[in-house]
Amino acid sequence: MAYDLVIKNGLVILPGGEQEVDIAVTDGKIAQIGTDIEIGDARVVDAKGLVVSPGMIDAHVHISEPGGGIRDHWEGYDTGTRAAAKGGVTSFIEMPLNQIPATVDHDSIQEKFKAGDDKLSVDVYSYGGLVPFNLDGGIQELDEDGVVAYKAFVATAGDRSIEGDFMNVDDYSLYEGMRQIAKTGKILSIHAENGPITDKLGQLAQERGEKSLAAYVDTRPVFTEVEPIQKIILFAKETGCRVHIVHVANAEAIDLINEAANEGVDITCETCTHYLYFYKEELDDIGPVVKCSPPIREKSRLEGMWERVFDGKVMFVTSDHSPCTPDLKDTDDAFKAWGGISGIQNNVDLLFDEAVQKRGMSLTQFADIIASNVADRFELKGKGRIEVGYDADFVLIKGDSPYTVEKEALEYRNKISPYIGREIGAQVAGTILRGEEIYSLDQGVSNLKIGQFYK
Ligand SMILES: [Zn+2]
Q: What is the pLDDT of residues 300-317, one digit of tens each?
A: 999 999 999 999 999 999
Identify the band that residue 449 occupies on the pLDDT scale cut at 50, 70 and 90. very high
- Distance (angstroms) between ligand 1 centre and the Cα of 35 equals 42
> Cα–Cα distances in Å, from 6 out to 18, 31, 32, 140, 298?
18, 10, 9, 43, 46
H helix or E strand, kind and range, residue 335: none
Whether residue 373 has pLDDT greater than 90: yes
pLDDT at 372: 98
The residue-averaged pLDDT of 254-273 equals 98
- Distance (angstroms) between ligand 1 centre and the Cα of 98 equals 9
pLDDT at 14: 98
- Distance (angstroms) between ligand 1 centre and the Cα of 322 equals 6
The residue-averaged pLDDT of 337-357 equals 97
- Mean pLDDT (the chain) is 97
pLDDT at 241: 98
The residue-averaged pLDDT of 317-338 equals 94
- Distance (angstroms) between ligand 1 centre and the Cα of 42 equals 40
- Distance (angstroms) between ligand 1 centre and the Cα of 294 equals 10
pLDDT at 279: 98
Model confidence pLDDT, tens digit, residues 57-101: 999 999 999 999 999 999 999 999 999 999 999 999 999 999 999
- Distance (angstroms) between ligand 1 centre and the Cα of 373 equals 19
| CA 54 – CA 289 distance, rounded (Å) | 30
Whether residue 4 has pLDDT greater than 80: yes
Kindly state the percentage of the chain with pLDDT values over 70.
100
Cis ω before 288 (30° cut-off from 0) = no
pLDDT at 1: 76
Pairing between strand 89-94 and 56-61?
A: parallel
Alpha-carbon torsion angle 135, 97, 146, 57, nearest 10: -140
| CA 314 – CA 246 distance, rounded (Å) | 10
- Distance (angstroms) between ligand 1 centre and the Cα of 320 equals 5
pLDDT at 57: 98
Interacting residues of 2 by C-beta distance below 8 A, sequence separation 6+: 26, 40, 41, 42
- Distance (angstroms) between ligand 1 centre and the Cα of 96 equals 9
> Cα–Cα distances in Å, from 59 out to 90, 200, 212, 409?
11, 30, 30, 23
Q: What is the pTM of this model?
A: 0.98
- Distance (angstroms) between ligand 1 centre and the Cα of 64 equals 12
Model confidence pLDDT, tens digit, residues 23-64: 999 999 999 999 999 999 999 999 999 999 999 999 999 999
| CA 58 – CA 353 distance, rounded (Å) | 17
**Alpha helices (H) in 118-211, listed in sequence order:** 138-144, 171-184, 195-207
What domains can be seen in the chain, in order of their start residue? 5-52+390-445 (2.30.40.10), 53-378 (3.20.20.140)
| CA 197 – CA 279 distance, rounded (Å) | 23
